[in-house]
Amino acid sequence: MGVKKFAVLASGGGTDFQSLIDAVKKGQIKAEICCLIAGKPDIYAIERAEKAGIPVKVVCKKDFTDNESFDIAVRDALVEAEADFAVLAGYLSIIGPETIKVFPNKIINIHPALIPSFCGMGYYGHHVHNAVLESGVKLSGATIHFVDETADTGPIIMQETVPVLVDDTVESLAIRVLKKEHEMLPKAVALMAEGRLQVEGKKVRITE
């Protein structure tokens, strides 16, 4: 068995993507980033990939007439990159059934809240943190999970909390959660690369 390869899918600035680039470089993740699949052509994540010498493929949803053809294009991009698994790092499109069929329990997503709260359709970016603040909860955090056929419902790999402070704004809470994401995501990807994530129904066991 050679070194595993994984693709990263991003739709924005790519700070989570950068945390993975850095962790691979430091040897914390024993795998190679084989490709960035960018959801838009003008995002900063592309610049990060180019600086790191990582191939880029732009697969923009608005270039496709329907969800099925977009799904097939994402699947084909992953297959062409010879990815063993994929990581969604601030990726805003829904992964479709054709891609999931080829990569079952091999696509990891990070969500900026504690699933099953504040998740599902419409809950992304600052919409999540705004809902958290409006609810009055005292804890938020980040969740890393496998992707299945429905938004944010796949088996949970890892969760960590951050406090929600009385005077928090969307921006201040987002910064605290993002810092936690940057710590968590490389750890989860390292476990995936080492084959230490075992899915048992809705549960994920981390093996020795």
Residue 189 has a pLDDT of 98
111 is catalytic: yes
Asked if pLDDT for residue 153 goes beyond 70, the answer is: yes
Q: Summarize pLDDT for 24-45 with one digit per residue, the tens.
A: 999 999 999 999 999 999 999 9
Q: What is the pTM of this model?
A: 0.95
Q: Which of 111, 129, 145, 182 is catalytic?
A: 111
Query: In this predicted structure, what is the pLDDT of residue 1?
Result: 58
CA nearest neighbour of 25 among 48, 2, 9:
48
Side chain identity at 136, as an amino acid letter?
Answer: G
Residue 78 has pLDDT above 70, yes or no: yes
pLDDT, tens only, 128-140: 999 999 999 999 9
Give the model's pLDDT for residue 2: 80
CB 58 within 8 A of CB 41: yes
Neighbours of 114 (CB within 10 A): 20
Say whether pLDDT at 93 is over 80. yes
